[in-house]
């Protein structure tokens, strides 16, 4: 096929040329005297990304799933109780991982299309007077349904309950795209991966833990620890403090990470978040106003700025739309996972992205829907998004002129 492939799944995302070029490096000795010049600044930059002054970041050659595992196996003891809300495939998988490590997960089931309930978390913690619950696990952005939970509200709920549990947050499809404040929100374990907001290939599992989590880590180590080796924080910290890794790091990924973080900071994190909101609002205008369809996210307070899950009308299969888009228009859309398989398709709008790329995805999705018989008006999605983008731009121009 000629022309560019339109990659609009919610990860992996498009890799900017700047990052691709930065990754094109010959191999070098990762135990050389020069290596810490690359490695050490990465940890400072990651603190800035996670918005923490005193947190400890980790870079594992893994994916988001590995970082999920790293945070749990280092800080908890075998059989510990944890509390987690489940409202989509990713929250489901993290719970499954915790259970496979022998943790006792108390699940708060929420309707898919909604998110973590601070009220229910508060009540569960309040009732846990013995403080058996050691951690609360929350997925900030549920990529399967396009739902963003309010992590600040979860922290307030935990404080209101006066409960000492650790707070672990999956920010794989939000950190670097949607605001995340580790220190301000009292997050004890923040988790992300390289192939979403960070615009890199998959291959890094990133996490950052608070001093409270490191205390828990020392405590767990002395007291029936969960098994770990590859993901052991202690091994990492021993090497990382001098700018090295306990095993061979992926050099291209580290160079790419350095470039990705430089790009995000050059744009300014707050501007990056605003751009994601602005682009996402255009996609939502296409879905809701243009096509007259519904999002999986039930209310505006759940809307995700990195992925929109579009419900297809009953009698149609979202998978047909995705197949058509891929085969006929060279467009990759996200599929419906598990409970919502066939009921929706997802448009990823995160990472290295602009208005016309979003309009390309909208138009491709629209043509594909029409091809499989879904009755949406030709041009309606793009028209709604265009007007959103033009209006928003007029507003920002007016603001700049003030």
Ligand X SMILES: *Cc1c(COP(=O)(O)O)cnc(C)c1O
User: Would you tell me which residues interact with ligand X (CB under 6 A)?
Assistant: 11, 63-65, 90, 139, 141, 143, 170, 172-173, 193, 202
Q: Which is nearer to ligand X, 140 or 368 (CB)?
A: 140
Is the distance from CB of 325 to CB of 365 less than 8 angstroms? yes
What is the smallest separation between the CB atom of 168 and ligand X, expressed in angstroms? 12
Q: Which is nearer to ligand X, 95 or 172 (CB)?
A: 172
What is the smallest separation between the CB atom of 11 and ligand X, expressed in angstroms? 5
Q: Minimal CB distance to ligand X: which residue? A: 64
What is the smallest separation between the CB atom of 85 and ligand X, expressed in angstroms? 13
Q: What are phi and psi of 385, to 5 degrees?
A: -70, -45
Q: Which is nearer to ligand X, 103 or 125 (CB)?
A: 103
Helix (H, G, I), strand (E, B) or coil at 136: strand
Nearest-angstrom CA–CA distance, 26 and 402: 49
In a 10 Å sphere around its CB, with 0-12 CB exposed, 13-18 middle and 19+ buried, how is residue 36 labelled? Answer: middle
For 337-398, give the DSSP string. Answer: -GGGTTTEEEEE--SS--HHHHHHHHHHHHHHHHHTT----TTHHHHHHHHHHHHHHHHHHH
Cβ count near 371 (within 10 Å): 14
Determine the number of helices (DSSP H) and then strands (DSSP E) in the chain: 13, 14
Q: Which is nearer to ligand X, 64 or 381 (CB)?
A: 64
What is the smallest separation between the CB atom of 54 and ligand X, expressed in angstroms? 25
What is the smallest separation between the CB atom of 190 and ligand X, expressed in angstroms? 12
What is the smallest separation between the CB atom of 234 and ligand X, expressed in angstroms? 23
Q: Which is nearer to ligand X, 57 or 64 (CB)?
A: 64
Short-list 334, 395, 327, CA closest to 367:
327
Q: Which is nearer to ligand X, 176 or 193 (CB)?
A: 193
Please give the structure tokens belonging to residue 368: 């594909």
């Amino acid at each position: 096929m000629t022309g560019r492939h339109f990659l609009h799944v919610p990860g992996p995302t498009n890799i900017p040329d700047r990052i691709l070029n930065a990754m094109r490096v010959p191999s070098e000795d990762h135990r050389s005297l020069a290596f810490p010049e690359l490695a050490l600044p990465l940890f400072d930059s990651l603190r800035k990304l996670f918005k923490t002054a005193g947190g400890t970041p980790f870079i594992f050659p893994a994916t988001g799933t590995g970082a999920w595992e790293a945070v749990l196996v280092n800080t908890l003891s075998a059989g510990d109780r944890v509390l987690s809300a489940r409202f989509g495939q990713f929250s489901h998988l993290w719970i499954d991982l915790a259970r496979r490590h022998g943790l006792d997960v108390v699940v708060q089931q929420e309707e898919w299309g909604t998110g973590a309930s601070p009220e229910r978390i508060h009540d569960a913690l309040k009732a846990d007077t013995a403080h058996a619950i050691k951690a609360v696990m929350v997925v900030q952005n549920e990529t399967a349904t396009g739902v963003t939970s309010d992590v600040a509200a979860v922290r307030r709920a935990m404080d209101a309950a006066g409960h000492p549990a650790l707070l672990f947050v999956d920010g794989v499809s939000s950190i670097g795209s949607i605001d995340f404040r580790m220190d301000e929100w009292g997050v004890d374990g923040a988790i992300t991966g390289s192939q979403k907001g960070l615009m890199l290939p998959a291959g890094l599992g990133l996490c950052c833990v608070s001093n409270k989590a490191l205390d828990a880590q020392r405590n767990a180590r002395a007291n029936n620890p969960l098994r770990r080796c590859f993901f052991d924080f202690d091994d990492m910290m021993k090497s990382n403090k001098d700018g090295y890794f306990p095993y061979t790091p992926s050099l291209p990924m580290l160079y790419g990470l350095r470039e990705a973080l430089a790009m995000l900071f050059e744009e300014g994190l707050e501007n990056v978040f605003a751009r994601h909101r602005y682009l996402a609002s255009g996609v939502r205008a296409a879905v809701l106003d243009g096509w007259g369809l519904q999002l999986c996210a039930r209310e505006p307070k759940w809307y995700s700025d990195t992925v929109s899950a579009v419900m297809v009308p009953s009698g149609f299969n979202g998978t047909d739309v995705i197949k058509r888009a891929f085969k006929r228009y060279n467009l990759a859309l996200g599929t419906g996972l598990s409970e919502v398989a066939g009921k929706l398709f997802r448009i990823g709008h995160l990472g290295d992205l602009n208005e016309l790329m979003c309009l390309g995805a909208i138009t491709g999705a629209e043509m594909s829907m029409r091809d499989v018989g879904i009755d949406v008006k030709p041009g309606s999605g793009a028209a709604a998004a265009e007007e959103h983008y033009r209006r928003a731009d007029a507003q920002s121009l007016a603001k700049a002129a003030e």
